[in-house]
Copies of this chain bind each other. A is one copy, B any other.
Amino acid sequence: MNADNCALARGLVSPSYVAQGAEALAKRQKLVKAVLSQRRLPQAGWDDATIELFIQEVALMDSNNFVDNVGVGEREARVACDLVARRHYRLAHGIGRSGDVGAEQPKAAGSSLLARLANLLVADALTRAGLADLGASTVLPLATGMALTLTLLALRPLRPAGARYVLWPRIDQKTCLKAIMSAGLEAVPLALALVGDELRTDLAALEAELRRLGPANVVAVVITTSCFAPRAADDIVAVARVCEAHDVGHVINNAYGVQSAALCKLVTAAWRRGRVDAVVQSTDKNFMVPVGGAVVAAGRRRPGLVAAVNKAYPGRASMAPLLDVLMTLLHWGAPGWAAALAAREQLFWYAQEALDAFATRHGERLLRTPGNPISLALTLDTLGSQVPPPVAFLGSMLFKRCVSGTRVVARGKAAVVAGHSFVGYGAHCDAYPHDYLTFAAALGTTRADVDAFVRRLEQCFAEFRARRASAGGAEG
């Protein structure tokens, strides 16, 4: 319904009513205009109608949707199943070109525009979350781990010829280690330091290892921000300074760290004061979209690796993860995004209190982990013993009660990951002094979730103790 068509509509419906309707349409177009011109989150979240209309219309700018297109190439974005076409709004060309996943496509002006917007709005969202002085960023349709691999692959040619080591403060989650291995590099795990309840980066050990291996042989130090308590975020700023001093690469696995203002502040400080080549984060965990995307970002002082990462992705890629983020950010707008972040910060304190109270009631303790702004850990000291069931059984009790995401970490588990042997696996160190259970105050978690969790945990504790008692009785 462009101006011409609104004029024609005046022949069918009273001009004054049409005029008011046309004005309403113009207001929607202005919402689009604001985003296209400011290239930032809209000042108010868009309603569904505006989002859909915008995407559907832009999709019609792709050649596969031209009324009179004739495609005689090997890839013409034809879609056989109508349901599939519909769920992608008839966007089928993907993003990028064979040389660069960030490049625009001649056949797909619409897809190219949406991909560009997705990247621009994500950059704005990162900035608003606290990643100041952002230099460059790109959204990739890859898992965080795979994005780490690609980042390391893009970084390697920029390092001295023989460089092959990646220094890696231990974190007991498989992804990062496998990402390093998949890149054909050699991970060098560094033990953490236990300070009070908390596990922290051992900077002295890092520097020692750097010297031992020789910085020229090191591709990068890969550290982790967001992680399960009682591990703290690595000492981002200090590591950045070390990397700058030794002139080695520095990649930050910030998987779900965007949602924490504290972590964003540290990352910002790090790329201002030291060397940071790339910060990698997930789209699903930070933007509440389905699993599938990652964002690689860098600060203003050293933005170059982001473009290299884009160029390292050979071929066209799925647009779905970018579109999901774009739709979500339009839906939220600046206030929605700010509100989601603020709600999470508040939830963290709410959960801390609730779990603290729980701990007090049960003779347990919330571990003191001030360096972890997202995850909390609750000791399970009163459950551990030689009598069955083992502490780990609490995990399956919770699983059966539809509690997901919590982890029971019992001492003494051994594991081999990507060729590396670990003891005390799960606890990020060889011998953590407690069994414990973790809880995450993640984006989207609600107070109702916390309350229900505590309620079910109560039930599980009671049932666990009853089983223990009856087993003890049977034994005794």
Contacts and interface: CB of A to CB of B under 8 A. Distances in A.
A136 interface: no
Identify the interface centre among A60, A71, A256, A313: most chain B CB within 10 Å of its CB. Answer: A71
Contacts of A146: 313-315, 317
Given A76-B405, A141-B141, A315-B146, A51 B83 contact: yes
B404 A374 contact: no
Given A36-B8, A62-B21, A78-B444, A317 B292 contact: yes
A190 interface: no
A75 B315 contact: no
Nearest to A351: B72
A463 interface: no
A53 interface: yes
Contact of A284 (B36, B94, B149, B175): B94
Given A22-B61, A256-B75, A331 B80 contact: yes
A153 B5 CA distance: 38
A76 B288 CA distance: 9
A340 B80 contact: yes
Interface string A57-96: 1111111011111111111111111111001111111111
Contacts of A369: none
Contacts of A17: 104-106, 108-109, 112
A93 B406 contact: no
Interface residues of A, number: 162
A228 to B, nearest CB: 8
A439 B13 contact: no
Contacts of A126: none
A220 to B, nearest CB: 14
B184 A92 contact: no
Contact of A70 (B112, B287, B375, B453): B453
Given A8-B36, A404-B71, A453-B70, A183 B88 contact: no
Given A70-B404, A71-B404, A112-B13, A81 B327 contact: yes
Contact of A73 (B68, B90, B440): B440
Given A143-B316, A143-B317, A402 B74 contact: no
Interface string A376-402: 000000000000000000000001101
A204 interface: no
Given A8-B37, A404-B72, A28 B184 contact: no
Interface in A394-426: 399-400, 402-407, 417
B2 A98 contact: no
B292 A319 contact: yes
A443 B291 CA distance: 30
Nearest to A90: B49
B331 A317 contact: no
A24 interface: yes
Given A70-B449, A405-B72, A49 B53 contact: no
- What are the 3 A-B residue pairs with the smallest beta carbon separation, nearest first? A73-B405, A94-B291, A21-B61
